[in-house]
Structure 1
Amino acid sequence: MNTKKHWAVVVGLGLLTLSACGSSGGASATGSKTVTLVSHDSWAVSKNVLADFEKQSGYKVHVLKDGDAGQAVNKAILTKDNPQGDVFFGVDNTLLSRALDNGLFQSYEAKGSDLVKPEFRVDQTKHRVTPIDSGDICVNYDKAYFSKHGLTPPQSFDDLVKPEYKNLLVTENAATSSPGLGFLLATAAQYGDGGTSRSSEAESGGGWQAYWTKLKANGVKVVDGWEQAYNQEFSGSAGGKKAKADRPLVVSYASSPPAEVIYADPKPTTAPTGTSYGTCFRQIEYAGLLSNARNTKGGKAFIDFLLTKEFQEDMPLNMYVYPVREGARVPAEFEKYGKQAPHPETMAPTKIAANRDQWVKSWTSLVLK
């Protein structure tokens, strides 16, 4: 992904079954001094940071981008017996159980794992994956719109179904998009699955299904992916302004507002968009040493590199994610405009695994039909 044009963490999450045909440049073409990284299209790193790793380790890094996150994970699973590379980066907590259950990774406890913040650690007995970054899927709002209309931006899920926000929200398809799925999981965490609810606004016993019935009645618009939602439908983005978009609320990321400042020319003194922190879902990305990797030694060295302070502090302005290593700093723009959510919704990967497919099926039937 061209990060200067498309800076989202993960644009789409395909839940489609893919054919097992591999891309060119697979592991069979690599030598012992080459490490092949398989990732989604959003992978990015500064040239000098990667050059430092290659110089210090003696390995040359070959990067194979395999589409969006879901496509990349599915293809990696289908080719696990003859993997395309040595390391996979970009499986997140919404699909982690699928990767682990299919034996995608072999065990490796990375150097620096003890420096990962405790809340991001998983699989502590087998060490099949290493946490690398985190991000918050949240509703973003167009400050100018709400100021012009004298409205307070919504700050919670309950707010989004109120009459004053009718026809204002655009979100992504939960079956085809990572932020769309994350937003669905956030509502399931908040309202439950047809059972007890933590919110007085949810219909009694209705859970997230009742909430989405209200959201649909309040005019939520659903599009296929983040690119369309944010850059074409959202009035607060630079792309949305050019497209004369009319939706001042969008499901995006807590890191979206600083991006609107960093890539603006001229740079504004304040971010034109804001984050509704009561609508967030915590997304975590992992890396792992692929089963049957040809260069396991080089793959281990590369995973170690992903946890170094140099790489962790390089990530925010390349992939618009947050470091997981203790003491790693984030850019000033992130501190000012894009702090992480203080209390995001979360869900255990095992619970996601047990419910994901059925929830997506139910969501599709409820919202899209």
Structure 2
Amino acid sequence: MNTIKSVVTLALLAALVGCTGPATTSPSGAGSTVAPTESKTLTVVTHDSFAISDALKKQFADETGYTATYVAHGDAGTLVNQLILTKDSPVGDVVFGIDNTFAGRAIGQGVLTPYTPANLPASVAELKPDDSGSLTAIDFGDVCVNADKLWFRAKNLAIPTTLDDLAKPAYKDLLVAENPASSSPGLAWLTATVGAKGDPGYLDYWTSLKANGVKVVKGWTEAYSTEFSGSSGKGSRPLVVSYSTSPAFEVPKGSKESNTTALLETCFRQVEYAGVIKGAQNQVGAQKFIDFMLSKQVQADIPGQMYMYPADTSVALPEEWVAHAPLATKPFTVSAAVISADRDTWIRDWTAKVIG
């Protein structure tokens, strides 16, 4: 891949491009500066769920003159692992899709070059994972349990509302969740239970879920599209870990009511970030791409393409989102620093307790 360069090549390239962009402070040597690199190509490294409209991709290419290539590397965890494994020979210039469950690891491993866009909207700045300036929030969403309203109506059973409800006998064998070792929404919801129950209280909670018949599958697609009764797959389980935005996509044509609902007292707020990859051959282009992702056009495109909320909350939402995709008023939260320090231990202990 033409983006893979050795450290020596990057150093020579930086020297050759001279003043192609604003100088940035070098991490070595107080006060010294080096010019950011630039080339005619830009490689955007993403998670598998990245999507913006083709028209916007063309607009970015036309405005910048770059030939942009988009390369997906799995979910957020796989993406960060790839950046770490290749940090001496970077696989791209800019990354999108690192979320707040993996942000601390990416920053701590030094795979990013700090960059903060000018005139950052306040709602975007508030979502930063730390003060390093390494990652810029692009979108966010609440990972919550979703319920199939039609199933519960047919069974004349009340829809659960809280985490504790899910462990009650009335809801035995009804919930499907994703494995946090292989799924970013699975990890986000595991983090929700840590935020709600503490550590090690979350393990006791999962023990009760296991006793109540929770089914754990590898990823979101299997959970939502195959196991969940309220999706096109028409599975057998009427409760699934998904997003608060999912009900907006389960409104039958001609109806004003969604067939599903999100349980807003079960949510963890997931934030997705973009950042400049350290050692990028096109740092200038990487910065321009981050700026572009925060443009009003792209932010307005995100709900329909990636089913997430735009980080710039001044952007108008689709009409169906206002009606069917509310955010949690009090989502469970855990700091990026705590997640980074304890994530691997949580997953290990969860696996031993729930999977065995």
Provide the TM-score with structure 1 as the length reference. 0.84
* One-letter amino acid of the structure 2 residue matched with residue 172 of structure 1: E
Aligned 8 A contact 2:53 2:301 in 1: yes
- Structure 1 residue 114 displacement after superposition: 3.8
Match of 2:298 in 1: 311
Query: What are the superposed Cα offsets for residues 284-328 of structure 1, whole Å, 9 maximum, x if unpaired?
Result: 011100100001111111111111111111111001111111411
1:247 aligned onto 2:237 = yes
1:51, distance to aligned residue in structure 2 (A)? 2.0
Of residues 133, 154, 174, the one that matches 1:148 is 154
Q: Output one character per residue of 1:79-137: Cα deviation in whole Å (capped at 9) or x when no partner.
A: 1121111101100010111101110101111134244345312333x311111110111
State which of 324, 345, 351 in structure 1 corresponds to 2:332. 345
How far residue 27 of structure 1 moved from its aligned partner, in angstroms, is: 4.8
Task: State yes or no: 1:215 paired with 2:212.
Answer: no
Matched letter for residue 366 of structure 1: K
Deviation at 1:353, TM superposition (A): 1.3
Please report the RMSD computed on the Cα atoms of aligned residues, expressed in angstroms: 1.7
1:217–1:234 Cα change, 3 Å: same
**SS of alignment partner, residue 89 of structure 1:** strand
Alignment of 1:1-369 (within 5 A): 24=1, 26-27=3-4, 32-124=39-131, 126-194=132-200, 207-239=201-233, 241=234, 245-261=235-251, 266=253, 268-369=255-356
| Amino acid aligned to 1:78 | L
Write the distance in 1 (CA, Å) between the matches of 2:123 and 2:4: 29
Bigger mean CA deviation after superposition, 91-100 or 105-114:
105-114
Decide whether the 8 Å contact of 2:104 with 2:129 is kept in 1: no
Change (3 A) 1:345 1:44: same
Give me the whole-angstrom Cα distance separating, in 1, the residues matched to 2:84 and 2:254: 43
- Once residues 115 and 285 of structure 2 are traced to their aligned partners in structure 1, the CA distance between those partners, rounded to angstroms, is 12
Letter in 2 for 1:316: P
TM-score calculated relative to the size of structure 2 = 0.87
Quickly say closer, same or farther: Cα 1:226–1:326, change in 2 above 3 A: closer
SS at match of 1:81: coil
Unaligned runs of 5+ in 1: 1-23, 195-206
Q: Which runs of 5+ in 2 are unaligned?
A: 6-36
The match for 1:197 is: none
1:267 Cα deviation (Å)?
5.1
Larger Cα Rg: Structure 1 or Structure 2? 2
1:225–1:48 CA distance, 2 compared to 1 (3 A): same
The number of equivalent residue pairs is 325
Does the residue aligned with 2:350 lie in a helix, a strand or coil? helix
Sequence identity, in percent?
Answer: 46
Cα distance in structure 2, aligned partners of 1:40 and 1:63: 10
Q: Which runs of 4+ in 1 moved over 4 A?
A: none
Letter in 2 for 1:103: G
| Distance apart, 1:49 and its partner CA | 1.7
